[in-house]
Chain A
């Protein structure tokens, strides 16, 4: 029973991390019909920002974390501004290739940066994340409590933003009809910048929390979580924000439960995740919650 509960909590923790990353994929896809391959690397950079700010600038952890969210969010905005916006009218494939290029750039920057280097770096994890709480015979680590709580707060904030504010309304409107949204008096470029800001900020929160759970930094750490979160977005119905959250939690839970109770399969977990991705793309491309996405006008 205790292990079961513990594994469930682990699954929720991992799932909430996937959910945080999946939002960015799904929002950008909804608006630009672009699979933003650089998103996983933006997530990876958030961890490095914390590392730089704590280790090189000696900021207190929480302040470094806040600054890292801001810096990562601005990075996302800058990527759209510099790399994607000039291709707004170009064929989708050019945009996709550019996204892959940005992804390589972000990874290779980490490899060549003198303070980051190619080698693994230890992530500065704050004490409250590693502290062990004991309740009966259930032992819970700080991360297992804090990660889902922080993620839930962020996701609620996101839902408020998207469904209850003016810019959120415009984000939902752009996802079906960019031109008409412009006719409403909305500056499309601004709304798209906001989308990247929000998506990257959530990925940053994910990256910072990810580091607390897996405290090693390396240039490629965003790749697999990125693919898993992308799979989560597809499971939930790409373009659908609530779907991305649902997909993230489902995938995180499934992954932990498989590893815990079918350890024989754990070596196959990446293969399983890609199999799920391919299954959905082939047989249910609209995901669990998505409606068929029309070609955008």
Chain B
């Protein structure tokens, strides 16, 4: 269980997060929705230890993550597919994936997870020896997700995995997420694509200019006026 309470983050004078609270229970898929600049990425970056909150708490199963360095947080069981994919262009697909498992020493487990992510994204298997930079945008996103899975995280953080993808690829991506959910994996999914996210998630939060303005079970959020108007365009 990941718990974020009353999180405040500043960039210089900009008050980017103004008291964000959310929780991700074990086995659940939770989505965090919001428009451009709402603070979604900042929330994930604070959880991963990439920005330091001025106030608030972040705990994973009761252990505080505040002040921990990113590699320590990965070792505690979180991993993230960052915004913009951020794959290593000069490394091969396989090397990217193995880097995802950097903190692990269980070679059997790594081999098992490698064949798992290849079954999840067969295109990656075909391109195993290719440099990451030669992949298409969709394939790079698959690689980013697969690489995060290679850490065998307790909770997987995804930052706008559908951004910039063709509809058919978004469908493919979400099919993979559905499979992860079936397996009982815990996911915190950041999206602007509310339709896709809410159809997958159990629970959702809506973030606007640094504050949570709505939350609830995904089915309820989908019916709420706020979400229908602002995010589903109906």
Contact = CB atoms under 8 A, between A and B. Distances in A.
B11 interface: no
B202 interface: no
Contacts of A180: 82, 86, 88
User: Which DSSP category, helix, strand, loop or mixed, fits chain A's interface?
Assistant: helix
B86 A185 contact: no
Q: What interface size band does chain A fall in?
A: 10 to 19
A191 B70 CA distance: 14
A170 interface: yes
Interface in A160-184: 166, 169-170, 172-173, 176-177, 179-184
Contacts of B69: 182, 187
Contact of A184 (B89, B90, B100): B100
Contacts of A297: 86
B151 A184 contact: yes
Given A170-B99, A185-B151, A176 B88 contact: yes
Contacts, number: 62
A188 interface: yes
Interface of B: 48, 50, 69-71, 74-75, 79-80, 82, 86, 88-91, 95, 98-104, 147, 151
Given A169-B99, A172-B90, A173-B99, A183 B82 contact: yes
Contacts of B74: 183-185
A176 B95 contact: no
A183 B88 contact: no
B50 A184 contact: no
A177 B102 CA distance: 15
Interface in A179-200: 179-188
A166 B69 CA distance: 20
Contacts of A169: 91, 95, 98-99
Given A183-B70, A297-B86, 6 more contacts: A176-B88, A184-B100, A185-B102, A186-B71, A186-B102, A188-B71
22 contacts: A169-B91, A169-B98, A170-B99, A170-B102, A173-B88, A176-B89, A176-B90, A177-B86, A179-B50, A179-B70, A181-B99, A182-B50, A182-B71, A183-B79, A184-B74, A184-B100, A184-B102, A185-B71, A185-B79, A185-B102, A186-B71, A186-B99
